[in-house]
Amino acid sequence: MVPATPRPEDTYDVAIVGGGIAGLAAAWRLRNRRCILLEADARPGGRLYSIGWAGIPLNLGAHMVPGAGSTVGDLVAEMGLETRRLPPNLFGLEYRGRRHLHLPTPLLPFAMRLTFTERLAFIRMGAKLRLGARRSVAGGRMREGESADDVRARQLAFEDERTLADAVGPLPERVNLLFRALTERNGADPSEMSAGHGLRSFANVWARTAPGTNLVGGTSMLPIALANRLGPIVKPGHRVVQARLTRSETDPVVTLTVEGPAGEHAIDARTCILATPAHVTRAIAAGLPPAALSALERIRYGAYLTMSIALDPMDHVSWKDTYAIATPDLAFSVLFNHDAMRHEPNGHSVMLFRGALGAARSIAEDEPTLVSRWLEDLEMRFPETRGRVRHVEIAKWQTGAPFATPGRARLQPALDAVEGPFLLAGDYLEFPNMEAAAGSGRRAAERAERLLALP
């Protein structure tokens, strides 16, 4: 492919590829530079995605937003957006027709419909997960003399040599099904993800290190506000098909081939932040070191499927004080209560979720069948919703979540060694969430600043 020669006005200090929260956080930091952000989609935000329907926010992507002191929290504050705390009870369970919303998790196996053997296996499994989650939290604490990079490296290396299924050991069939339903929010089966990855996700819930707020109006409020404030820097509808290293006499330059509304054109930049998912970065970046390309190729992603529903106002909502209700024996595996996102109590907003293999299977279904199957289960187990569904939206995330497989920590040095003129950003660089993505974007921008300051 021979790209057209860039015009002088198409030469930038920094080109950012990808307008998810990683790319937008980088662009915000670099907004006073000659900088451009190229986003393939018509909307910014990537996996931060919500819409409004008749004044009710319907969230379809990420939703739990970290608070003050985090990169995302600071951006939310700078954009002047309103947040609301999640309902006080983070987690509940609906299983085989019994709802357990206020029971402490260690007591759940005693209340659930299980045989004696299953109950015992469930208790053992719970103890192993709790112990592992505690070790994961302890490993994430910064020790004297350590940098944030040291902590990240230690967290990645934690329980990295075996799978979560191996760490937990064999389980009776029904307990195994429950276990898989509880871990599918990582986009993977316990037999695929590393033990460290799975334990970290439990630690986030139990140690309440999970982000604790919702954005009023829906999570898209953040990328929309950032894109508006960045103005002409952000170019939606511009897909980068290649970013390759070219050299001028004095400086290395990255030349990007871009497909935009006016056809294909080229852009030159002194540094290029690749804030795209690992497989996209692998496909478009020509000139990354072979070890980095091979590491990018080995980052695995799992599927997510979300169905967001607007409900008529209801007098009694049984999940009012609960944020997430696991539903392991239904078509969807979690119901999220998103009423905290509403400006006014003009109806209810819930998001049904499925991850991993269950999501991959549901994505393949035709949409009318999928919708009626999920709504049937919703109305059967949450009868207060009967006849109250006003609107349904679906989002299919084929590559919803990167997850660590055993040996993932060994890929990190090759990714960390990419130091310019290409720079990497994105949630796949650590335990994936919006804070990891935004933090990686901010760090890539700081590195870009340092590179640009070099004589």
Q: For binding to ligand FAD (CB under 6 A), which residues are involved?
A: 17-23, 38-41, 46-48, 61-64, 211, 239-240, 275-277, 280, 284, 304, 306, 397, 400, 426-427, 432-435, 437
Q: For 47, list phi and psi in degrees, rounded to 5.
A: -85, 5
Rounded to a whole number of angstroms, the minimum distance from the CB of residue 42 to ligand FAD is 9
CA distance 404 to 163: 10
CA distance 163 to 180: 13
Pick 284 or 404: Cβ nearer ligand FAD: 284
Residue that has been written with the tokens 């870009």 in this structure:
448
Rounded to a whole number of angstroms, the minimum distance from the CB of residue 130 to ligand FAD is 22
CA distance 42 to 48: 14
E strand or H helix that includes residue 336: strand 334-337
Rounded to a whole number of angstroms, the minimum distance from the CB of residue 284 to ligand FAD is 6
CA distance 270 to 255: 9
Rounded to a whole number of angstroms, the minimum distance from the CB of residue 431 to ligand FAD is 9
Pick 62 or 415: Cβ nearer ligand FAD: 62
CA distance 404 to 195: 9
For the chain, give percent helix, strand, coil, nearest 5. 40, 25, 35
Pick 58 or 175: Cβ nearer ligand FAD: 58
Rounded to a whole number of angstroms, the minimum distance from the CB of residue 432 to ligand FAD is 4
Rounded to a whole number of angstroms, the minimum distance from the CB of residue 16 to ligand FAD is 9
Pick 3 or 109: Cβ nearer ligand FAD: 3
Angle between helices 356-364 and 173-183 (to 10 degrees): 80
Candidates 437, 415, 450, 414; CA nearest to 26 is 437
Under a CB-based contact definition with an 8 Å cutoff, are residues 242 and 286 in contact?
A: yes
Candidates 83, 56, 52; CA nearest to 346 is 56
Pick 41 or 329: Cβ nearer ligand FAD: 41
CA distance 1 to 257: 9
Rounded to a whole number of angstroms, the minimum distance from the CB of residue 264 to ligand FAD is 13
Pick 121 or 310: Cβ nearer ligand FAD: 310
Rounded to a whole number of angstroms, the minimum distance from the CB of residue 430 to ligand FAD is 10
Tokens read off for 368: 């009318």
Pick 175 or 437: Cβ nearer ligand FAD: 437
Q: What is the DSSP string of 137-172?
A: HHHTSPPTT--HHHHHHHHHHTT-SSBHHHHH----
Pick 41 or 449: Cβ nearer ligand FAD: 41
Rounded to a whole number of angstroms, the minimum distance from the CB of residue 279 to ligand FAD is 9
Candidates 286, 273, 287, 276; CA nearest to 449 is 273
AA identity, residue 266: A
Rounded to a whole number of angstroms, the minimum distance from the CB of residue 243 to ligand FAD is 9
Pick 114 or 296: Cβ nearer ligand FAD: 296
Under a CB-based contact definition with an 8 Å cutoff, are residues 349 and 390 in contact?
A: no
Burial class (CB in 10 A: 0-12, 13-18, 19+), 313: exposed
Pick 406 or 426: Cβ nearer ligand FAD: 426
